[in-house]
Structure 1
Amino acid sequence: MGTSNDHNASPPPLLEDLKVTIHNSSMIFPSKPIERKSLFLSNIDKVLTFDVETVHFFGAHKDFPPHVVNDVFKSALEDALVVYDFLGGRLKMNFDTKRLEMDCNPEGAGFVVASSDYNLDQIGDLDYPNPAFAQLVPKNKGFLKEGDAPLCVAQVTSFKCGGFAIGISTSHTIFDGLSFKTFLDNIASIAAKKPLAVTPCHDRHLLAARSPPHVTFAHPEMLNLSNIPTSCPESNIFEASTEQLDFKVFKLTSKDIIKLKQEAINSIDGPTTTRVTGFNVITAHIWRCKALSCDNNDPNRSSTILYAVDIRARLDPPLPKSYTGNAVLTAYATAKCKEIQTWPFVKLVEMVCEGATRMSDEYARSIIDWGEINKGFPNGEVLVSSWWRLGFEQVDYPWGKPKYCCPVVYHRKDIILLFPPIDGGGDRVSIIVALPPKEMEKFYGLFYKFLA
């Protein structure tokens, strides 16, 4: 376990302004002609209509100063707009089918060249969620045509030291974490003038609903908007919050994770099939901290945790590993707060484990069919999204692997992200949490109390 000094250390001072200057904003287009067509979006894709913003930091490289990276990366993106022919297109509503689709057209992606007045080592801990990192991704997608919304915009920001950051904003409708990692691998291969690392599979009909749709489970983890009175505000877990939020990174060492596993194992009473894995104990630990830190301290209140499960290998037949779209669904576990507080820890781990085990081919197809019939989205108190093992930091560009990759901090208090630490560090994990100040204070206290 980390020392108490590690746990109670004050957050590092954060630069509020990275002094970024935009030098050029332009649209880039496919390097070869592409076929104009409409691309089907699955019921998973069409719920995820928000943008995902990531920043990838690189140290100085004598053969690839930032101005060279600008040209090489821009050229690689232009070639990628051919391989990923939807990437330069736009989302549109098909009024005949009443479905959201991707219009594969050559309208293009966005590309921004910028610089910062700082050296890379002056902007603070890269793995601490500094809201100022938002300056490293394009602020306005419609920078050339008002109201335009490209599906992908990239920004290369150079630092005084010769290091640089590549900020990428993509619509979540087009990639999940695994397919975005494949996209980055392919960009790196194209930039190095090598064959594609993976030939992507763009056939999203593989996750189409059955005809007729057949919902075989209750799906309490989904909120049906048609059942909510119009006078009640809908609470979309993906919506940004307007209230003040504190941001913290909670770091678990390998010893901390072993301690959580041991706590679960020590509370087992009788035979069990529960898999006491790192992810399961971390998710159970987050669940009890989030449930018990809520302002509503009613012991009979139900708390539902959601967590992303990749369904590629769970379907029959399995999806190709190279599937481009969103192939992640939300598993869930639900319990009353008094149960979360009094149950042995292994019971929470068991429920997290059961939620993932529940995600069979039939269960996944049932959720997809549910989305064909109902308008709604995943519904829970908190969603744990793990980027822990995705390997963004392992992508090998011509100028080397990133020093660190991170999401841009966003105002979503109901989504908690798991990320690898800055040095990649084995089984250690960084947990990025955004909560209102009072809840954060409780969450912080519980997080380390349960580790004591």
Structure 2
Amino acid sequence: MAIILPNSAMQDLKVTFQESTLVFPAQESAHEKKSIFLSNIDQILNYRIPTANFFSTDPKFPPESVAKRLKTALEKVLVFFDFMAGRLKLNQESGRLEIECNSAGAGFVVASSEYSLEEIGELGCPNLGFQQLAVHSLKNLVLSSADDHDDQPLCIFQVTSFKCGGFAFGMSVNHILHDGISAKTFSDILASQALDEDKPFPFTPCLDRRLLAARSPPTVEYPHPEFFKPQLPNSSPPVFDCKQETLDYIILKFTPNDITYLKQKATKDTKKKISSFDVVVALVWRCKALSYMQEHNKEESDRVSTLLNVVDLRSRLNNPPLPLPYCGNAVLLAYSSAKCSDIEHGPFSNLVEMVSAAPARVTSEYARSVIDSMEIHKLLPCGEYMVSSWLKLGFDQVEYPWGKPLYSCPVASHRKDICWIFPDSHGINALVSLPPPDMDKFKSHFQNFFI
């Protein structure tokens, strides 16, 4: 078990931005000058997810060549994924967000760092400098062809070279465009087009987001305590985001031995098989819930903590079913709730069981009920903490012409309400972001659990 702190010496990667421009579809798309329907799940995810992929030095693929290849590949891929080159707009009649496929362009940035990958050190550190590898806006960057535009691209791609010849491929993507599986689909297709010769797409993604439209009339068949109705104007959809504040960041590194220990602790009185994900998430939930508690405070002990676990709908829906290569946001939330006193003093196996059992609640009928309820009430997630798993997404397995990434990770952001769980070559990592006082308590509870 290890807690990895940010590398304070590397929070500025000394990045110079050399080019920032817009990339347009190579030819007119099928949806040109049309608007794309966004599901109720898409509607609330209007915020950016930054990611970074690191690649080692390859003399056959210097960073400047990689940048040219990726830019050309984007031009080809955006013909099909034309919504990624569009812009969000609010339909005043319906009060819903749509994507206008106007070929306004995706962002593309070329930059360089004064450091080598070796000097940056452990890529698994929650390095705040990585924020420079996936910028959120083209404004104020040198040579920007977008400086004259008030609107910014929904996605920005960035190639940053290091002095060793290695490079990072960063992406800052509005969550409305993709969930994790959808983003992996896009990445696989983009990588396949980064060759010199023309090559067909490895598979055809499904772009029909009306497959997740509410039913007519909407039919709410279940209670949905994992959502609440915010007190907001009805003129536009609410956004599932949080305020900017000072946060501390850590990476929790779980080795195979750590996970074995957690599983043994969770199955002390039962022989039920449980996953590595379940035990890691249960421990993170425990530490997060207790990090808010004040000692000897009865109200805090009686407070209910709710964990939200992001689950994929592609294998769960029927009538109609959802194709596996569906592009968009096909995710909903499984919830687990318990009193803080029970979380603190009850057996660890109880928490693991709650985490393990929650996804089964999200059946096809339940998911359709959630979507219909969102149609009526414009709901937002209601929970103390959310976990989002990258364990099976496979971003580190995307095969570019220059090989697979050395390391692929979410970039530390302003989200204190989401814990990212992602694979490591030696186990499982969890990226935790919390205000400093809560982080101190979180680390203390985490370390004490293993004593």
TM-score, with structure 1 as normaliser: 0.91
Tell me the alpha carbon deviations over residues 274-311 of structure 1, each in whole angstroms, 9 at most, x when there is no partner.
65111111111111111111145511011000010001
Q: What SS does the aligned partner of 1:126 have?
A: coil
**CA distance in 2 between partners of 1:328 and 1:199 (Å):** 20
Question: Which of 71, 77, 101 in structure 1 is aligned with 2:98?
Answer: 101
2:266 corresponding residue in structure 1: 264
The correspondence of residues 118-267 of structure 1 with structure 2, limited to 5 A, is 118-142=115-139, 143-192=146-195, 193-226=198-231, 238-242=241-245, 244-267=246-269
| Aligned-residue CA RMSD (Å) | 2.0
Separation in 2, partners of 1:81, 1:430: 33
User: Which residue identity does 1:278 align to in structure 2?
Assistant: S
Residue 149 (structure 1) shift: 2.1
Question: Aligned residues: percent identity?
Answer: 49
Q: Per the alignment, in what secondary structure is the counterpart of residue 129 of structure 1?
A: coil
In the other structure, the counterpart of 1:63 is 60
User: For the residues of structure 2 that align with 1:117 and 1:206, how far apart are their CA atoms?
Assistant: 47
Match of 2:288 in 1: 290
Match of 1:37 in 2: 34
Which residue type is aligned with residue 381 of structure 2? P
Misfit runs of 4+, over 6 Å: none
- CA distance in structure 1 between the partners assigned to 2:127 and 2:5 by the alignment: 14
Instruction: Write the distance in 2 (CA, Å) between the matches of 1:364 and 1:338.
Output: 31
> SS state of the match for residue 83, structure 2?
coil
Deviations 1:199-225 (A, max 9, x none): 110000100001111111111110211
Q: Is contact 2:52–2:133 with CA below 8 Å preserved after alignment?
A: yes
Q: CA, structure 1 residues 286+224, in 2 after alignment: closer, same or farther (shift >3 Å)?
A: same
Contact 1:275 1:350 in 2 (8 A): no
Number of the residue aligned with 1:409:
412
Which residue, 311, 316, 324 being the options, matches 2:313?
A: 311
Q: How many pairs does the alignment contain?
A: 433
> Offset of 1:267 from its aligned partner?
3.2
> Within the alignment, does 1:379 sit opposite 2:379 as a pair?
no
| CA distance in structure 1 between the aligned counterparts of 2:421 and 2:402, rounded to whole angstroms | 27
Relative to structure 1, the CA distance from residue 210 to residue 281 in structure 2 (aligned partners, 3 Å threshold; closer, same or farther) is: same
Counterpart of 1:252 in structure 2: which amino acid? F
Post-superposition shift, 1:8? 6.5
Unaligned runs of 5+ in 1: none
SS in structure 1 opposite 2:89?
strand
Please tell me whether residue 437 in structure 1 is matched to residue 439 in structure 2: no
Query: What aligned pairs does 1:353-364 form with structure 2 within 5 A after superposition?
Result: 353-364=356-367
Deviation at 1:449, TM superposition (A): 2.0
| One-letter amino acid of the structure 2 residue matched with residue 126 of structure 1 | L
How big is each residue's C-alpha offset from its partner over 1:364-387, in whole Å with a ceiling of 9 and x where there is no partner?
111111110112311111001111
The amino acid that maps onto 1:436 is P
Counterparts of 2:250 and 2:240 in 1: how far apart (Å)? 19
Distance 1:11 1:95 in 2: 44
2:366 & 2:175 partners in 1: Cα distance?
A: 23
TM-score, length-normalised on structure 2? Answer: 0.92
Q: Which amino acid in the other structure matches residue 73 of structure 2?
A: A
**Could you list the runs of 5+ residues in structure 2 that have no partner in the other structure?**
140-145
Return closer, same or farther for 1:91/1:337 CA change in 2, 3 Å cut-off: same
